[in-house]
Amino acid sequence: MDLKSIEKKWQQRWEKAKLHGFDKKSEKPKLYVLEMFSYPSGAKLHVGHWYNYGPTDSYARFKRMQGYNVFQPMGFDAFGLPAENFAIKTGVHPKDSTEKNIATMEGQLKAMGAMFDWSAEIKTCGEDYYKWTQWMFLQLYKKGLAYRKEAPVNWCPSCQTVLANEQVVDGRCERCSTVVVRKNLTQWFFKITEYAEELLSGLDALDWPEKTKSMQRNWIGKSTGCEIEFASESGEKFRVYTTRCDTVYGVTYVVLAPEHPLARKLTTPDRRQAVEAYIAEAAKANEIERLSSAREKTGVFTGSYAINPVNGKAVPIWLADYVLASYGTGAVMAVPAHDERDFAFAKKYGLPIEKVIEKKGGETVLPYTEDGIVVGSYTFDGLMGEEARDAIAAHISKLGKGGKKVNYRLRDWLVSRQRYWGAPIPVVHCPKCGVVPVPEEDLPVKLPYDVEFRPDGKSPLAKHEKFMNTTCPVCGGAAKRDPDTLDTFVCSSWYYLRYADAKNSKMPFDREAVDKLLPVDTYVGGAEHACMHLLYARFFTKALRDMGYLDFDEPFKRLVHQGVILGPDGNRMSKSHGNIVSPDDYVNEYGADAFRLYLMFGFSYTEGGPWSDDGIKAVARFLDRVEKLVLKISAYKNKHEEPYGAEEKALDYARHLAISRVTKDLEAFSFNTAVARLMELVNALAKYDGLAEKNVALLKSVAKDLVLLLGPFAPHFADELWEQTGGKGFVLEQRFPVADPAALVLDEKEYAVQINSRIVLKVNLPSALTNAEIEASVKELPEIAVRLAGKTVKKCVVVPGRLVNLIVG
RNA sequence: GCGGACGUGGCGGAAUGGCAGACGCGUUGGACUUAGAAUCCAAUGGGAAACCGUGCAAGUUCGAGUCUUGUCGUCCGCACCA
């Protein structure tokens, strides 16, 4: 069979029959199967796309054949830095390169033979899409979930531009490897922290990979501790955050982050010079230095003292950049006896160390950071760990100086980018009225084409006079637009909602359409999005729910990560490794079906692994074998249903076992074992076909089921065989075979007979026997009887259908 | 340092606590061929055998690749978060 030509033929027929769309009128249960949409930065689909979309499409086809009304849309995450960087390098406008790439990829995606519903296609760079991305921004702004503040961002001094966090790899610019510095800019943020608790607690109920959930938990970083208010001798109050309030009597100094608002205020005149120098030094420190835990700690004394509220003791106030301004209160109490960092710092600067915790039943070596018995701490001596913390927190609370406090590591999401190729932020800056949101009826704020996007440290849009100059929607006076664009992750935070109603020009989506299709039942994509896209999308869903636009809590009920296909050398495929495998070469040689089938068979889906083309020949051979066998069987003229004996029963058993296992495996995304079951069935069928006398009716019936089973795996191939063997309609319209439990009951089962847990022999026994009967018949076996002679059987373990274990004294 | 995952033939990989290595690749032998390719058939964890085998060491169990503890190694994520 010439797979390539039949693939084109079937793709055309499917399209003509509109076979693949979601049926809005259908009564069947809906199933929303979604793959993460493609990013059109490269011109072509790579192996990773095929690996994500091919097997998932097989799952979708399987569910469709099972009777679900499957919705499987596809689109393009088309804004973003790679297109812009490509433009900077080559001068090709991002819009032009993106549109060209999308056109190519659309063609390739269709050639894959996936049942994407192209009527719902979306491209995030289209005005009809980013209009609604801007609308989302406005809703969040209205709700108080979008705000502007000055913040440090990643700045690449060589590229003269701000970088997204994900573009900073180990503190260096992803493109030029220059060390990134921090720079304060006024930025837009989304208040994702408002949902920290729900984003955390909601994870428990999700059918997601444990690893991904744990990464999100980690990222959200909930910590339960205590806030304690200290006051300087001059009366300035500030709070510290600690998880170890049981050590509060051991505080010998406090530390503020250099960026702390009180840092300068608390500095005495004689310390002014040193402190200013330190603050300047800390601000200059680059990401690598600042993030390194191995780095020696530095700090400076402010000259002021703070009063410890629990014991009235005055302790020096220091500044040090090992305290982060953005976490907790930006200030900590230092207990060098019981914290490694404080200990190192105290040693270096000669600060006192006071032990207030003792190891239970052992020598206390400082710094001692484990839980222990409280000593030298007022009435709390003798308490331990959690008990001590509860008591001391209650005490602090009673003093009115703070109390228990939950903190999250999660920060608000910085969404503004000083970049061209993204959705413009829909606000106007008016000299009179301040920040004014663009009225919804004026959306979209169009992204102009003729922009100088070469980086020079300012937002490219800022240089576009026509774009920037506008009138204030409130007072009508002259005003400026916001020159920044939105992070592309904003676009992808709601695209799964837009698919449900992709062509709506009045709303981002109709509530009814979304209610009908969402949430996504199965979402498949790379694990690298664990703490970005997958978190942002959850946030959007919850925010939209609270604004009344939808009525569910989580966007993705079930999540599957495909593994990564590595180069043949075991490294990630990359130009620098020179190990890129092009899917096109294989698709041209073996066809899309064989290529997809190999991706399913050659790897454990969630693991991935190094590419090897040995296996692709094997699956091509398998398809060939199936074709010959099915066509041969189909050509048998007679249709007699005789004989029907043990051989026939075995074949029927093989069929139903395959059906049952394939069904289970597909459900679990265990594609490699599913294909193995098909191979077993083919082996059984070929074996039976080799018999001299055979039941042709049974053969034909099993061959027919085989073709149906193959439908999700090799869709073009299956349709071709289906047609050639007289099938009506498309395989996709047939019912996926259902295993008959009766056929799976065998008359006899093979038992492993063990004596003292060692296998002695194997024996076939009728399935109908009770455990006692099994035990009795095993004991009667001559070989067993001999071995048991003169011994007592102390115990007999029978595992029905499996084994018998005789424990002999 | 913290968190997560994983260590099984020559290779990719299978195994609800119950016959380890399904399925496939590769290899070997055979058939068909002038010959090769393709195809088909058979064998294939190690060992002559008793037996031994799931990184290593213990433990629980009638029974452990699977559960528990420790240990070594690999991969991934986070990392001065007080």
For A10-36, the pLDDT digits (tens) are: 999 999 998 998 988 889 999 999 999
HEC sequence for A101-133: HHHHHHHHHHHCCCCCCHHHCEECCCHHHHHHH
CA→C1' distance for A765 and B60 (Å):
32
The pLDDT value recorded for residue A314 is: 94
Task: Find the nucleotide nearest A609 (Cα to C1′).
Answer: B12
What does the angle CA A462 – CA A467 – CA A472 come to, to the nearest 5 degrees? 100
Identity of residue A636? Y
CA→C1' distance for A803 and B51 (Å):
22
Task: Find the nucleotide nearest A221 (Cα to C1′).
Answer: B81
CB A374 within 8 A of CB A380: yes
Structure tokens, A630: 């099915």
CA→C1' distance for A796 and B18 (Å):
13
Decide if pLDDT at A182 tops 80: no
The pLDDT value recorded for residue A272 is: 93
- For chain A, the average pLDDT equals 89
CA→C1' distance for A597 and B17 (Å):
33
CA→C1' distance for A292 and B6 (Å):
28
pLDDT band of residue A760 (cuts 50, 70, 90) is confident
CA→C1' distance for A661 and B22 (Å):
12
Helices and strands in chain A: count of H runs, count of E runs: 25, 33
What ipTM goes with this model?
Answer: 0.93
The CB-based long-range contact list for A156-160 (8 Å cut-off, 24+ gap) reads: A156/A180, A157/A181, A159/A455, A160/A455, A160/A456, A160/A457
pLDDT band of residue A285 (cuts 50, 70, 90) is low
The pLDDT value recorded for residue A294 is: 61
CB A109 within 8 A of CB A45: yes
Task: Find the nucleotide nearest A225 (Cα to C1′).
Answer: B82
Q: What is the DSSP string of A359-370?
A: -TTS--PSS--S
Task: Find the nucleotide nearest A409 (Cα to C1′).
Answer: B81
pLDDT band of residue A71 (cuts 50, 70, 90) is very high
The pLDDT value recorded for residue A215 is: 86
Residue A65 vs residue A573, higher pLDDT: A65
The pLDDT value recorded for residue A809 is: 74
CA→C1' distance for A698 and B21 (Å):
33
Task: Find the nucleotide nearest A530 (Cα to C1′).
Answer: B77
- Average pLDDT of the segment spanning A757-783: 87
Task: Find the nucleotide nearest A670 (Cα to C1′).
Answer: B14
Distance in angstroms between the alpha carbons of the first and the last residue of chain A:
64
Q: For residue A796, report the phi and psi dihedrals to the nearest 5 degrees.
A: -135, 120
Query: Using one digit for the tens of pLDDT, what is the confidence trace for A788-798?
Result: 888 888 888 99
**Which alpha helices (H) appear in A292-408, and where do they start and end?**
340-349, 385-398
* Residue A236 backbone class (left: φ over 0; alpha: ψ -120 to 50; beta: rest): beta
Task: Find the nucleotide nearest A622 (Cα to C1′).
Answer: B24
- Average pLDDT of the segment spanning A222-230: 92
Q: By percentage, how much of chain A surpasses pLDDT 70?
A: 98
Decide if pLDDT at A326 tops 60: yes
Decide if pLDDT at A166 tops 70: no
CB A216 within 8 A of CB A184: no
Task: Find the nucleotide nearest A620 (Cα to C1′).
Answer: B24
Task: Find the nucleotide nearest A241 (Cα to C1′).
Answer: B82
The pLDDT value recorded for residue A175 is: 67
CB A592 within 8 A of CB A14: no
Decide if pLDDT at A424 tops 90: yes
Q: Which of A258, A317, A319 is CA-nearest to residue A285?
A: A258
Identity of residue A748? E
Q: Which residue is nearest to nucleotide B51 (CA to C1')?
A: A758
- Average pLDDT of the segment spanning A412-441: 92
The pLDDT value recorded for residue A640 is: 76
pLDDT band of residue A87 (cuts 50, 70, 90) is confident
Q: Which residue is nearest to nucleotide B75 (CA to C1')?
A: A607
Task: Find the nucleotide nearest A800 (Cα to C1′).
Answer: B18
CA→C1' distance for A509 and B57 (Å):
61
CA→C1' distance for A528 and B76 (Å):
10
Place of tokens 């394939």: A662
- Average pLDDT of the segment spanning A768-779: 88
CA→C1' distance for A536 and B72 (Å):
39
- Within a 10 A sphere around the Cβ of A338, how many other Cβ atoms? 25
CA→C1' distance for A710 and B23 (Å):
16
Q: At what angle do helices A715-724 and A3-16 cross, to 10 degrees?
A: 90
CB A535 within 8 A of CB A198: no
CB A803 within 8 A of CB A752: yes
CB A251 within 8 A of CB A318: no
Q: Which of A444, A440, A427 is CA-nearest to residue A131?
A: A444
CA→C1' distance for A741 and B18 (Å):
23
Query: Using one digit for the tens of pLDDT, what is the confidence trace for A167-179?
Result: 677 777 766 777 7
The pLDDT value recorded for residue A29 is: 96
Contacts of A398 (CB under 8 A, 6+ apart): none
**Which alpha helices (H) appear in A529-645, and where do they start and end?**
533-546, 583-590, 592-601, 614-635
What does the angle CA A316 – CA A320 – CA A323 come to, to the nearest 5 degrees? 110
pLDDT band of residue A291 (cuts 50, 70, 90) is low
pLDDT band of residue A764 (cuts 50, 70, 90) is confident
Query: Using one digit for the tens of pLDDT, what is the confidence trace for A733-759?
Result: 999 999 999 988 888 888 889 988 888
Structure tokens, A191: 């208040």
CA→C1' distance for A731 and B28 (Å):
42
Decide if pLDDT at A658 tops 80: yes
The pLDDT value recorded for residue A600 is: 93
How many CA atoms lie less than 13 Å away from A493 in the CB half-sphere? 28
The H or E element that residue A308 is part of is: none
d(CA A707, CA A725): 10
In the beta sheet, which residues pair with residue A32?
A71
The pLDDT value recorded for residue A164 is: 67
Task: Find the nucleotide nearest A602 (Cα to C1′).
Answer: B12
d(CA A634, CA A644): 19
Q: Which residue is nearest to nucleotide B17 (CA to C1')?
A: A799
Q: Which residue is nearest to nucleotide B15 (CA to C1')?
A: A673
Number of residues in chain A:
809
pLDDT band of residue A289 (cuts 50, 70, 90) is low
- Average pLDDT of the segment spanning A308-319: 93
Decide if pLDDT at A473 tops 90: yes
Task: Find the nucleotide nearest A291 (Cα to C1′).
Answer: B80
CB A138 within 8 A of CB A426: yes
Residue A801 vs residue A722, higher pLDDT: A722
Q: By percentage, how much of chain A surpasses pLDDT 90?
A: 58
Task: Find the nucleotide nearest A678 (Cα to C1′).
Answer: B23
CA→C1' distance for A623 and B37 (Å):
19
Query: Using one digit for the tens of pLDDT, what is the confidence trace for A604-657?
Result: 898 888 888 888 889 999 999 999 999 999 988 877 777 888 889 889 999 999
Structure tokens, A482: 């916001």
CA→C1' distance for A530 and B82 (Å):
26
pLDDT band of residue A229 (cuts 50, 70, 90) is very high
Structure tokens, A703: 């061959």
Under DSSP, is residue A285 helix (H, G, I), strand (E, B) or coil? coil
The pLDDT value recorded for residue A569 is: 81
Query: Using one digit for the tens of pLDDT, what is the confidence trace for A267-281?
Result: 999 999 999 999 888
Task: Find the nucleotide nearest A797 (Cα to C1′).
Answer: B62
Q: For residue A205, report the phi and psi dihedrals to the nearest 5 degrees.
A: -85, -5
- Rounded to 10 degrees, what is the CA torsion of A611, A612, A613, A619? -90
Decide if pLDDT at A286 tops 60: no
CB A295 within 8 A of CB A344: no
Q: Which residue is nearest to nucleotide B12 (CA to C1')?
A: A602
d(CA A332, CA A252): 11
Query: Using one digit for the tens of pLDDT, what is the confidence trace for A479-532?
Result: 999 999 999 999 999 999 999 999 999 999 999 999 999 999 999 998 888 788
Out of A300-304, A416-420, A550-554, A700-704, pick the least confident: A416-420
CA→C1' distance for A617 and B37 (Å):
14
**Which alpha helices (H) appear in A406-532, and where do they start and end?**
465-468, 488-491, 495-498, 511-517
The pLDDT value recorded for residue A198 is: 93
- Average pLDDT of the segment spanning A442-466: 88
Nucleotides in chain B with any atom closer than 7 Å to protein CB: 3-5, 11-16, 18-20, 22-26, 38-41, 62-63, 76-82
CA→C1' distance for A370 and B70 (Å):
21
Q: Which residue is nearest to nucleotide B38 (CA to C1')?
A: A621
CA→C1' distance for A678 and B43 (Å):
24
Contacts of A772 (CB under 8 A, 6+ apart): none
